[in-house]
Structure 1
């Protein structure tokens, strides 16, 4: 926890009101996202109990799994709704011309977006996806193929939550906590009810703290899922399940109606809070870098649709070592780029990074605007240098590439840091954004006395270079996978 975050949390605890931690919204929000609430049964981790979902806050769809028997009909109905939402984002495409590295291709103009209450729901959907995508398809069973396809999409969406800045599947508590700091612990922030009470308390509440304390009343508090409250399980669910097991025929239908009403009443408050949170987040101005990240989301979605259309094999239960290494590098680089873009966009984020030494602000003390260097080929390059005087901590190494929100296209390379008694002098070289020697862009040059805040430059994602499969050791998924083992069974994946 940074110094700024600690300060805001203490201020929230003192005043009783949540504090803004971000001036802008850093994730894209669709006009009609799919809200998805889940409840699961105790016992098998992925066995669902109920799902409430939809794109209309006034008309949610409730799907109930029977207390005993097959859940396939309920999962097939869930698959139909989720697939319909995904297909609705595939109505329009845009043409991308060929480049030096990629052929011409089509990309969808939109992508699906699903909002869930908390990270625990993401883990439940991940477990459900792992279970469903490997199910055998039996065309004699209605819904069998759509249920397997649901497992594929759940795996894709939950995998996207591992990518910082992705907006395909968003836990709302994490989204809110990115933009507001409350006076409770980060663990307590995972409860949607108390988190929203802090951020947007009712009009009759004296403060967010008082509203959160009232929301914690065990008599009225309801978990946002996927696990249910123990008291609810024992006092209300268990008697219905027992009655269902003992009943026959028409009595079972009546008990299922009672179960439907009970679970609808349980989920409705969370459903309303999800749309309340959506309204709060939608009202925030969108950050500049959000549009670029959503374009990447659409690109990834388009590739996944192509995979399903031409291959369709489910992702393996475990990644090979090479694939796992690639996924880790992608996550690390994307996290660094997301953090840098947030800092370039948002003054609140820049202020926090200045307390940690990951950004610094200072006054231009001197500049060499006509500096020219010659590259290995002898070509002249314009490389102005200037010195920034700052009292902020500077925890960066020479060679670090920096940017300023005032001149987003410019790049500054940190050359040298000199510590003096009353200030720190940072020498910087402008390496991009100033044009060429024959046609320089002087607007990028600061003047003596200007105040600049510099943050790490976004490192746009590039796939790491890995050896070809035939050059990869067998320990990392190389050629032995296609050979016959000693037992005489083919080791190729089906």
Structure 2
């Protein structure tokens, strides 16, 4: 947790209301995303119990499993989930744009132009919390290689044909959710806690009702009291008034309501009474709907809060990366490639790790450029400064054939920069990739002097607008404003046998 977030949480404790951590929205939100509230059976982490899903606030689809231990009913549930989810997930491949790029042959060095299709838009799934992401990943991995009724040797408990395809898509969404800055699969608690700080811990923020208690409390009510009520308030039957957002259900609900209802369902099946079985199924469906629908409404409430923030400038760039990811997975499915392996080889694992580290650095940089509150964390840490230009002194470097402009800029700033003279600085609100050198620090007067080194054109005189004028606000950082590319990794067949390659 950063110092700014800690200070915001302390202020939330003092004021009793959530404090903003951002001035813009740092994640992409689709116009009509697919919302899911998944539940799993207690003691069976990969046994689905129910799900509420849809894109219409007023008309969610609720699917339930009356007996999660019944494999036939479990796969029937997954097939029904696939019937509702796959048309949405696969419905973004019709409209594409063609992108061309130049690729170099690693052997001959010859350059060719390669054309690839990029979808114009991509699907977006939103679940209540991180537990929902984990459950979707478990459901995906448990259905990858499932034998179906269409196989020559289906074996016991064959799954419907579309269930393995659902598993491959869920696995892709789960893996993409691990990439920093991705918006294909989002958690509502993660979205809200990124943009607002509450007076409770990160673990307590995983309770969607408690988190919304801080953000949407009643008039004159403190956030901590609203959160406590959401976590603990129960009705006359001992059931929570604000059900947890899953994927596990409340133990009191399992013991007093759901467990006896499933027992009655099993008894009706033993007797072979079709009408009684149908009645017991409807009873379980209504019980589970009663704890899914409040969370469903909370998801939409969270979306309404997030839409009050304008979208950050770099969000569209990161969403394009999600579109490329979706397009690539769609092409792999169309080509008939096998499912993702359960465990990556050494090279693939290293590439995944490098990608996530690179994306995390990229997200941190872009959020700092897009949001003054995000940049304030770096300023507070002494990694950046912002201030007003008070003087500009023209100067040139005459060591080359043509004099190069190297103006001296004096900036008045309240920030304390942790750097020595000679350190390279990077301008965050000026010409692209403009660098400077720290010349002098005058902490007594709250001023510093820097020498601009680049971003002023190729002529003797700087291009108009490339040198800040007195009275202009500038922001410089000690860190580079673009992530560096990691070193290339070998192909799996070129690694030693200890890393998955061929034996010697």
TM beyond 0.5: yes
Structure 2 unaligned blocks of 5 or more? 105-112, 235-240
State how far apart, in whole Å, the 1-side matches of 2:402 and 2:102 are: 27
Other-structure match for 2:279: 254
- Could you tell me whether the CA contact under 8 Å between 1:138 and 1:144 is conserved in 2? yes
Matched ranges for 1:348-427 at <5 A: 348-364=373-389, 367=392, 369-372=394-397, 386=409, 388=411, 390-395=413-418, 402-405=426-429, 407=430, 409-414=432-437, 418=441, 423=446, 425=448, 427=450
Mapped pair 1:133 → 2:144 = yes
Q: How has the CA–CA distance of structure 1 residues 7 and 170 changed in structure 2, closer, same or farther, with 3 Å as cutoff?
A: same
Mapped pair 1:446 → 2:468 = yes
- Could you tell me whether the CA contact under 8 Å between 1:2 and 1:356 is conserved in 2? no
Other-structure match for 1:217: 232
State how far apart, in whole Å, the 2-side matches of 1:291 and 1:360 are: 27
State how far apart, in whole Å, the 2-side matches of 1:428 and 1:292 are: 32
CA displacement, residues 297-327 of structure 1 (integer Å, 9 cap, x when unaligned): 1112111111111143111111112111111
- Could you tell me whether the CA contact under 8 Å between 1:117 and 1:173 is conserved in 2? yes
User: Alignment partner for residue 320 of structure 1, among 336, 345, 364?
Assistant: 345
Q: How has the CA–CA distance of structure 1 residues 265 and 373 changed in structure 2, closer, same or farther, with 3 Å as cutoff?
A: farther
Matched ranges for 1:459-478 at <5 A: 459-460=482-483, 462=485, 464-478=487-501
State how far apart, in whole Å, the 2-side matches of 1:329 and 1:235 are: 49
Q: How has the CA–CA distance of structure 1 residues 473 and 196 changed in structure 2, closer, same or farther, with 3 Å as cutoff?
A: same
Mapped pair 1:287 → 2:312 = yes
Other-structure match for 2:108: none
The alignment of Structure 1 onto Structure 2 pairs a total of residues equal to: 476
Mapped pair 1:268 → 2:289 = no
State how far apart, in whole Å, the 2-side matches of 1:225 and 1:288 are: 33
Other-structure match for 2:54: 54
CA RMSD between the two structures = 2.7
Q: How has the CA–CA distance of structure 1 residues 372 and 132 changed in structure 2, closer, same or farther, with 3 Å as cutoff?
A: farther
- Could you tell me whether the CA contact under 8 Å between 2:406 and 2:451 is conserved in 1? no
- Could you tell me whether the CA contact under 8 Å between 2:66 and 2:284 is conserved in 1? no
Mapped pair 1:297 → 2:322 = yes
Q: How has the CA–CA distance of structure 1 residues 396 and 312 changed in structure 2, closer, same or farther, with 3 Å as cutoff?
A: farther
How far does residue 352 in structure 1 lie from its aligned partner after superposition? 2.6
Other-structure match for 1:232: 253
User: Which stretch shifts more, 192-201 or 451-460?
Assistant: 451-460
- Could you tell me whether the CA contact under 8 Å between 1:5 and 1:181 is conserved in 2? yes
CA displacement, residues 121-167 of structure 1 (integer Å, 9 cap, x when unaligned): 11111122121113234416786331111111111111111111111
Q: How has the CA–CA distance of structure 1 residues 477 and 426 changed in structure 2, closer, same or farther, with 3 Å as cutoff?
A: farther
User: Alignment partner for residue 195 of structure 1, among 207, 211, 234?
Assistant: 211
CA displacement, residues 15-48 of structure 1 (integer Å, 9 cap, x when unaligned): 2111111110011111110001111012232111
Other-structure match for 1:108: 119
Matched ranges for 1:157-196 at <5 A: 157-196=173-212
User: Which stretch shifts more, 26-35 or 138-147?
Assistant: 138-147
State how far apart, in whole Å, the 2-side matches of 1:40 and 1:414 are: 57
How far does residue 97 in structure 1 lie from its aligned partner after superposition? 2.7
- Secondary structure of 1:392's counterpart equals coil
How far does residue 367 in structure 1 lie from its aligned partner after superposition? 4.8
- Could you tell me whether the CA contact under 8 Å between 2:66 and 2:265 is conserved in 1? no
TM-score computed with the length of structure 2 as normaliser: 0.86
